[in-house]
Amino acid sequence: MNTHLIALDWGTSSLRAYRLGAAGETLEERSLPLGVMQLDGSEADFERALDQACGDWQRSGPAVPMIACGMIGSAQGWRQVSYVEAPLGADGLGTALLPIHRSQGMPLWLVPGVIQRGALPNVMRGEETQVFGLFDGDADHAGPLLIGLPGSHSKWVMVEDGQLSQFQTFMTGEVYQALLGHTILGRTAVIGDAFNAAAFERGLRVARSNEGQGGPLSTIFSSRTLVLTGELSGSAQADYLSGLLIGHELAAMTSGLQLPPSQPIVLIGNSTLCARYLWALEYFGFESLRFAPEATAAGLWKIAAGAGLVAAQATGERDVRQDAGH
């Protein structure tokens, strides 16, 4: 089938490439360990990585446009693309694309990140593309939609009237890894593959309790002391700590937004991690939950269409959301 767009999700540690058809459907997908931090930063190395990811796609037929989101547009990337200010719609990203004009082949168009200005500025690169890939601005939503993107730096994005209106960032995943790998908390933890649901829920309960009101710094040491006193096994410690940190994240996020239990929430990301967040959101009383494993390709297609890189009439209505059964 004919290629109409080559779309790249070029992050810190990996490069994912998508060959998209006439309606934005994924014809082929690849993932390579060629993130920006795995390269030496030279023009030649970025060109080599691009060729390795999709050079054969470029050479197999007529020239097609290429678009990329993520850390490739950061200060550590191929070119730095200025942030676009929130609130904004997908067209705001499309009009701010930065082209890399290459000596051979089509330009590579870079998607800008998003900045939320204020006393404590907030930024994202890559997540905004998933948000617009998920959200159909013409969809029949009665009110605002909250989109969660769990990960090393979890993002919570509010979409209202087809626009990315505001967002929060929580370094939950990175803090979790750092605590287990580089502090005394990891000395008593026994890491295994089995998920301890009771320990995870105990962590959620503590985060929501009066003892949790002081925030994570007042409770994380309990992941060690509960093991020392025999109230928690070492093999359960990591899941308890996970529940504790995710619980604190949700407590802070919900207190800032004051969300009703009926607030529609969609999660995008790794299915295993999202399953923990779905559990936690249910524990916090939310009732309208959905799960979407991946939305980057759809977002890049939408942005490319808005920028005129692909024919607008070729775009099809896409809804990558998948009901998680909640």
Query: Are residue 86 and residue 12 in the same domain, yes or no?
Result: yes
Q: What is the pLDDT of residue 320?
A: 34
Q: Tell me, yes or no, whether 81 lies in a domain.
A: yes
Q: Is the pLDDT at 175 greater than 60, yes or no?
A: yes
What is the C-alpha to C-alpha distance for residues 34 and 78, in angstroms, rounded to an integer?
Answer: 13
Indicate which CATH number applies to the domain containing 21. Answer: 3.30.420.300
In terms of Cβ atoms closer than 10 Å to its own Cβ (0-12, 13-18, 19+), residue 55 is middle
Q: Is the pLDDT at 59 greater than 70, yes or no?
A: yes
Q: What is the number of structural domains in the chain?
A: 2
CB 144 within 8 A of CB 157: no
Does the pTM surpass 0.85? The reply is yes
pLDDT, tens digit (0-9, with 9 covering 90-100), for 196-246: 999 999 999 999 999 999 999 999 999 999 999 999 999 999 999 999 999
**Eight-class DSSP state of 209:** S
Query: Are residue 153 and residue 186 in the same domain, yes or no?
Result: no
pLDDT, tens digit (0-9, with 9 covering 90-100), for 291-325: 987 899 999 999 999 999 998 654 443 333 333 33
Query: Are residue 212 and residue 84 in the same domain, yes or no?
Result: no
Q: What is the pLDDT of residue 136?
A: 56
Query: Are residue 158 and residue 201 in the same domain, yes or no?
Result: no
What is the C-alpha to C-alpha distance for residues 183 and 241, in angstroms, rounded to an integer?
Answer: 13
Q: Tell me, yes or no, whether 276 lies in a domain.
A: no
Query: Are residue 156 and residue 296 in the same domain, yes or no?
Result: yes
Q: Tell me, yes or no, whether 277 lies in a domain.
A: no
What's the domain range around 193?
173-258
Q: What is the pLDDT of residue 316?
A: 42
Q: How far apart, in Å, are the Cα atoms of 295 and each of 131, 147, 258?
A: 7, 12, 27
